[in-house]
Homo-oligomer: A and B are copies of this chain.
Amino acid sequence: MEKDVSIGLLGLGVVGSGVIKIVEDHQEELQHQLGRGVKVEKVLVRDIEKARQIEIDHRLLTTNCEDVLANPDIDVVVEVMGGVENARKYILEALQAKKHVVTANKDLIALHGPELEETARQNGCDLFYEASVGGGIPLLRGLSDGLVSDRIQQVMGIVNGTTNYILTKMAKEGQSYEDALQKAQELGFAEADPTADVEGLDAARKMVILARLSFFTNVELEDVEVEGISKLSLTDIEYGKKLDLTMKLIGFANRHNNQIEVSVQPTFLSKSHPLASVNDEYNAVYVNGEAVGETMFYGPGAGSLPTATAVMSDVVEAIKNMLLGVNGKKFVKPRFEKELTPSDKRFSQFYLRLHVKDEIGAFASISDLFNRLDISFERILQTPSEKGFAEIIVVTHKTSLENFQNAMKKLDELQVIDTVESYFRVEGDA
C-alpha cells in the first residue's frame, strides 16, 4: 500500500468541517481513485478549544500557520478560512513552498486570482478553486474542460443562494423582502449582516471568476455593474407573475464580438427560461456556447458537504497531477484585451412600471415618446385607476440599454407621469 497523501487545512468552519467529514467517510472512494489514502495532517484554527460541529483529534489542530505552510509532510494546502488579506498571504507562502493549493475563496480569487495563478505557475504548483462558484456544482470544470473547444457567448447565473431563497419566498408565498430576509437569516441562509449577498456583491465576485474563465480576459471586480435586491417591491414580483415573468437576481457575462458585459441585476425571466424554475437556495448557471448551444448546471450553491465535495474534487485533481508529475499546467491566461460593451450595444427587453395621472391621452403621450425613440411594446397592463392615478406596466421589445435609459430620462419630463416606479431587464423571450 502506498503512503497516504497529507493535506493541510487553513480554517475549520462550515466548509473545512465538510472536508474533514468527506476525507473520513469517503476514504474508500479516495483510495480507489488515487491508489492511496488521503489524510488531514494539520488544521489551522483560531481557537483550539472552541466547540465544533465535528469531532476532531485536538492534536491535528494548531494556531500556528507555519505548522501547515512550512510542514514538509503536507503536499496540498486547502484554504477554507475566508477573508482576503491573510488568505492571500498564506496561499502565496504555501505556493512558494511548492505546495499545491485548493481554495473555496471567491473574494480572494476575484480580487487576486491572476497574481496567485502567476505565483503558482512560477512554482510549478496547482491552484484550483472549483468551490468558489456554485458550491457543489462541477461548474468551472464543465466550462474549462467540457466546453474547451467551444466559444462561450453568454453565461447567465443564479450564483447566490441567499438572494434566490429570498426571491423564491417573495414570489411563492407573497412575503415582503424584509420578512423573507428574516426567514433566511433564521434558517442560516443569510448572515446577520446580509449586505454582501443582498446587494449583489457576492454574485459580482463569482461573475468575475466566470467571466475570466469564459472569455479569457482580465475582468476585474470594478468592471461589474451591480444592483442588489434590497429595493425590490413585492408589487413588481406580483405583476411579473401576471406576465409570466419570474424575478431572479441574475449575473450576466455576455460577449458580443470581443466586447464583454459583466453585470449583476434583478431580472425578469420568462417562465420558460431554464433558470426561471431554479428555486430556494439552489444555484444554476446557464451557458450559451457558439457550438454547444444552451447548457445548464444546477445544484447546491453552498453548504458544508456540497462545497467540500467541490474542494475535494480539486484536491484529487492536484494529487493525480502530483502522481503523474504534471502540476502547474492548467491556468487561464488572458488572451484578449478587455473591452466593455457600451450601452448602445447592449440589447434586451425591459419591464417598466409607471404611476400615471388618469387623464385622457395619458397613455398616448407615453407610447408616443417610446415610439419616437423606436421602442415598441410587447405587452401592456393597465390597472383600474384609483384616486385619479393608474398604474401602467409595459414590457418592451428588444432595445439598446442606451435607448431605454434615454427614454427613462425623457419620461421624467412628461406631464402625465406621476412616478417611474421601477424598471428591470427582461430575458428569455417574454
Residues of A within 8 A of B (CB): 18, 21-22, 25-26, 29-30, 32-33, 130, 136-138, 141-142, 145-151, 216, 274, 277, 282, 284, 289-300, 303, 305-306, 308-310, 312-313, 315-317, 320, 324, 326, 329, 335
Q: How many copies does the complex hold?
A: 2
Q: Is the CB of A149 within 8 A of B309?
A: yes
Closest residue of B by beta carbon distance from A306: B292
Q: A274-B277, A292-B300, A294-B299 are in contact. List 7 more A-B contacts (CB 8 A).
A: A136-B289, A138-B147, A141-B142, A142-B146, A291-B305, A292-B305, A292-B310
Q: Is the CB of A293 within 8 A of B151?
A: no
Closest residue of B by beta carbon distance from A296: B298
| Contact partners of A136 in chain B: CB under 8 A | 289, 291-293, 295
Most buried by B among A29, A145, A149, A315: A149
Picked from B141, B145, B309, the residue with its CB within 8 Å of the CB of A291 is B309
Q: Give the Cβ gap from A34 to chain B, nearest Cβ, in Å.
A: 9
Q: Is the CB of A313 within 8 A of B26?
A: no
Q: Give the Cβ gap from A280 to chain B, nearest Cβ, in Å.
A: 10
* Docked CA distance A18–B289 (Å): 14
* Docked CA distance A91–B315 (Å): 33
* Docked CA distance A298–B286 (Å): 9
* Docked CA distance A142–B148 (Å): 14
| Contact partners of A335 in chain B: CB under 8 A | 32
Closest residue of B by beta carbon distance from A152: B29
Picked from B294, B316, B320, the residue with its CB within 8 Å of the CB of A300 is B294
* Docked CA distance A137–B130 (Å): 18
Picked from B25, B148, B308, B329, the residue with its CB within 8 Å of the CB of A316 is B148
Closest 6 pairs between A and B when the two form their complex, measured CB to CB: A138-B146, A295-B299, A149-B312, A296-B298, A136-B292, A291-B305
| Contact partners of A18 in chain B: CB under 8 A | 291
| Contact partners of A145 in chain B: CB under 8 A | 138, 141, 145, 313, 317
* Docked CA distance A216–B326 (Å): 26
Most buried by B among A29, A216, A306: A29
Picked from B141, B303, B305, B324, the residue with its CB within 8 Å of the CB of A329 is B324
Picked from B22, B141, B291, the residue with its CB within 8 Å of the CB of A149 is B22
* Docked CA distance A270–B300 (Å): 20
Q: Is the CB of B299 within 8 A of A292?
A: yes
